Structure 1
């Protein structure tokens, strides 16, 4: 009996370990390939890379030859910062309101705010374009910010809501019993305790905005070029190796930011809720 149990446990462990290894290869493999390709000495994207060189990173920093990429980066960062900031304010306020509403009303409000994550991105981008066009607006950074705001706010709502669910109500009762008003209680008790969740949500909203393609694709124009759209165009036209260099830079920056946020806010735990 013990032998059968140990054999079954060994088989289970082998299967789970194999699946985990396969998942790791699928997830990490493409990232490693892109990083390796970005250091190629060749004029075209190919793997394995032909030689080793930093030439494409140097070209990426060239203000003249990479002017369009720099402009796209500037637009992307501007949109991401503003959208993440507004999403942090709106998502935090929504999470606070939903936490005080019990029953079906609270669940309905939560589902309504989270619905943009369920909708197909391309469908939402097209719907946003048609809606703003009917209102008479033309593609601009402001419209992209509005579209991104709808998409990234649920990330803030989820992390802040998770922090509020872990908040001990006794602390709020103690604050009120000591004579503190709602504003003072929020500023001195609630806000410091949910601050890590707010920071984690702001980070996730920022990264989701930077990486957003569907909304940017439909709401951008030649003057409001966004980095993902610029990279897609470079891949379609010339297979420019600078795309790999941009990807390598984004991977490195995202990895460093993730480490910082994990250290400061426990990002992984906030995402699990």
Structure 2
């Protein structure tokens, strides 16, 4: 009996080792697939070659210096300015509207709340190119010409669901007894929201605003259809540079974006628990 138990323990031990090994290999492979392209872009941005190639032939900061040159990279700087302006306005409006919608949906019960949630989350389900074309046709029928305002409106529809989801997750974790206690102490709905609800869901609002801002910066389909030569956006400018000359400044822009997003994600994770709220 002792020998049988020992043999069974050995088989279980070998099975556990094999399981851990397979899971570890798959995790490492997934990490390589996800992180590998980022490392390739970062390495390419420091090349001394005049075209994009990997592995780089040498180490140089010339492309970052050229990227920061106000004269030779004027078009890129203008595209960056347009992108940040549109992203800031879209994220700000999405934060206000998404928070209001999340609060209203949290109070709605039953089928109405589910229908409203599906309606507001629909832009994330629709194909981006189809939505961009539809937005262009719609604004054209209304007589609007391509402008930053039109880009803000298009981006707002796409990024608002991010705020709605994170704020909704924060509201779902709110203890109803706190609201009852506030009402029992004589506070009205506005006072309760300002003094009780808003401070508790503030991290969710901040996380949603961050996600909305980054989604707007990275949005290609809407920008592709709603931008023009005067309202050039950074993703479209980078795409054009890749198609025409394989300009290494594209890799430098990507490197700066990766570094900026990485730092911002660390800050947001520290103060708002971004990962937990994305899962929520």
TM-score, length of structure 2 as denominator length: 0.96
CA distance in 2, matches of 1:37, 1:138: 38
Of 157, 160, 164, the residue aligned with 1:157 is: 164
2:208 aligned residue: 201
CA RMSD across the alignment? 0.7
Note the C-alpha offset of 1:15.
Answer: 1.6
User: How far has the Cα of 1:134 moved from its partner?
Assistant: 1.3
Q: Which residue of 2 aligns with 1:168?
A: 175
> Superposition pairs for residues 194-273 of structure 1, below 5 Å?
194-273=201-280
Task: Select which of 164, 182, 186 maps to 2:189.
Answer: 182
Q: Helix, strand or coil: the match of 2:186?
A: coil
Which aligned pairs between 1:1-273 and structure 2 lie closer than 5 A?
1-273=8-280
Q: How far apart are residue 182 of structure 1 and its match?
A: 0.7
How far the C-alpha of 1:133 sits from its partner, in A, is 1.1
DSSP 3-state at the match of 1:22: helix
Report the Cα offset of residue 4 of structure 1: 2.7
- What 5-or-longer segments of structure 1 have no aligned partner? none
Which digits, 9 at most, give the CA deviation of each residue in 1:1-55, with x for residues without a partner? 3233222222221221111111100110000010010000110100111111110
**Runs of 4+ that moved beyond 4 A:** none
Larger-gyration structure (1/2): 2
TM-score (norm 1): 0.99
Which secondary structure does the structure 2 equivalent of 1:65 belong to?
Answer: coil
**Number of aligned positions between the proteins:** 273
